[in-house]
Copies of this chain bind each other. A is one copy, B any other.
């Protein structure tokens, strides 16, 4: 296989990989993956990789995949992925970037297992700030991962290596972890998507804890669709193995309203940085252009919560995670001295401190609830600075803590976050913004990001990691949550709720999902009801034999929202059942006889649907106007 063949995979999305595999033989597929791995080198040569899969391990993974039934339809069939080295993957040592901590896990972590079940091929483990303690990416004895745009600048951490290998397009997705920003800061510094799900959404079983009560596994990707694909695969509760795992709501929010209210900090902290503020302001303008209401709010309760993380007892969770290891390895060989000093500081905290800070957190959460009462989402700079290695070396703690300004509070406040690119500085380095929502708004954040990209990057002008061209745009294929039929009601709408008509907002308000445009069975008549307000409404009449098929649109509405919808339906309309052309009965608007027999009612059945009738009216009015 030539170098050319291998090179072409760089920057491929999940879709590209799957299409490639579909177009070649299994053997060619395998060779491509093999070549990809062979091209990689581990730290110190390439500090992003701590280990790569051996030829044997790769072959074994491939063979297992080949024996899977239905393998062709797996969402990650043959897609190479990278895993941060604090997450167990069988066949690879886990180091957490501490050589003496190294162990060979007997089994996959839950998230790696889910990726493999989805068809992924694990090609290597990536570098990190030791024990995921840092936001700089330099606290690793294996080497300091640079930003993909500059050898002098840090990649950001702690998930430094995972961000680097995705930004260079080696793999379309990589797992990171994110306790205080480790899955977001490296995304900003490498022009990537960094998805930090709602706490407890992805299992942390088989992950070396940083702060167990706050840890999240996170996803890096070049585009939104790949992030969402991975989110859907990993979103599975694991209540038996992870104390903090939660069951994701069955009807999660699909999108914020078109006039989403976004809170931004009243006072921004830039620590002397001058160019990033301009880029951030521009991003906010783009959001505003896309229809969002931007509101400046006082972030103080959130920033105070963030300070708790550094000043409070949560560091004891880090100590708790490595206590046994430390006791067995008192020499602290292989320990990064900054990380060691941080973890050692845990010893000074008592249980009383732990409870008192928890009281403080609870109080702040109440303030934050109030602050965010009328706010759908927040938008913050992902990190204020693009630090050089020298900056970090001069002030290892200070630079790190400044970088966490807008990330630290998120898990303490139980929020979801999505870090996305927002442009480049004049020195060629990227910056990013983070969209933050209340728990379980992960899908709505993806949708909001999609909206932002459409406005901010018209004509496919967005770049992905290091790739400025030749990469397919996959931001616009975000598909939202799949809501099961038992948790939703399928409703056919026939009148002013149709797409583009004046009551369609009522469907959006109740988080409805469009299913299809279809027709009723040939048992109906349609009437334009006498106008009683500004909005013209039709009424459907079931006539059994001599009827017609009427155009409808079907939607899925979460069952718990249906009451809100029906409370907006006035007489003589109601919600009953209607037969579709395929014989299926679904909930639908129905009309009392007293409605369509009232004076002024017009039989409009011949138009076959309400929209066609409206078009007729419009044309008619226009035609009539001159006369």
Is A592 a contact partner of B369 (Cβ separation < 8 A)?
A: no
Is B352 a contact partner of A319 (Cβ separation < 8 A)?
A: yes
- Stretch of A97-105, A169-177, A287-295, A562-570 on the interface side: A562-570
Per-residue CB contact flags for chain A residues 41-68 toward chain B (1 = under 8 Å, else 0) read: 0000000000000000000000000000
Is B577 a contact partner of A577 (Cβ separation < 8 A)?
A: no
Is A355 a contact partner of B575 (Cβ separation < 8 A)?
A: no
A320 partner residues in chain B, CB cutoff 8 A = 352, 355-356
Docked pose: A369 CA to B243 CA in angstroms: 12
A593 part of interface (Cβ distance < 8 Å): yes
Q: A351's contact among B244, B245, B349, B578, by CB below 8 Å, is which?
A: B349
- Stretch of A357-365, A405-413, A498-506 on the interface side: A357-365
The smallest C-beta distance from A456 to any residue of chain B, in angstroms, reads 37
Of the four ranges (under 10, 10 to 19, 20 to 34, 35 or more), the interface on chain A belongs to 35 or more
Which single residue of chain B is at the shortest CB-CB distance from A240? B366
A603 part of interface (Cβ distance < 8 Å): no
Q: A572's contact among B354, B542, B567, by CB below 8 Å, is which?
A: B542
Docked pose: A322 CA to B562 CA in angstroms: 51
Is B577 a contact partner of A576 (Cβ separation < 8 A)?
A: no
- Stretch of A125-133, A417-425, A553-561 on the interface side: A553-561
Is B560 a contact partner of A587 (Cβ separation < 8 A)?
A: no
Per-residue CB contact flags for chain A residues 579-596 toward chain B (1 = under 8 Å, else 0) read: 000000101001011100
A414 partner residues in chain B, CB cutoff 8 A = none
Interface centre among A239, A571, A578 (most CB of B within 10 A): A571
Which single residue of chain B is at the shortest CB-CB distance from A358? B213
Is B593 a contact partner of A542 (Cβ separation < 8 A)?
A: yes
Interface residues of A (CB under 8 A from B): 212-213, 239-240, 243-245, 313, 316-317, 319-320, 323, 346-347, 349-356, 358-360, 362-363, 366, 369-370, 489, 541-544, 557-564, 566-567, 569-578, 585, 587, 590, 592-594
Nearest first, the 7 A-B pairs at minimum CB distance are: A574-B576, A562-B563, A349-B351, A354-B354, A316-B351, A571-B577, A243-B362
Q: Can you list 12 pairs linking A and B with CB atoms under 8 Å apart?
A: A213-B355, A239-B366, A243-B360, A313-B354, A316-B350, A351-B354, A563-B563, A567-B587, A571-B577, A571-B578, A574-B575, A574-B590
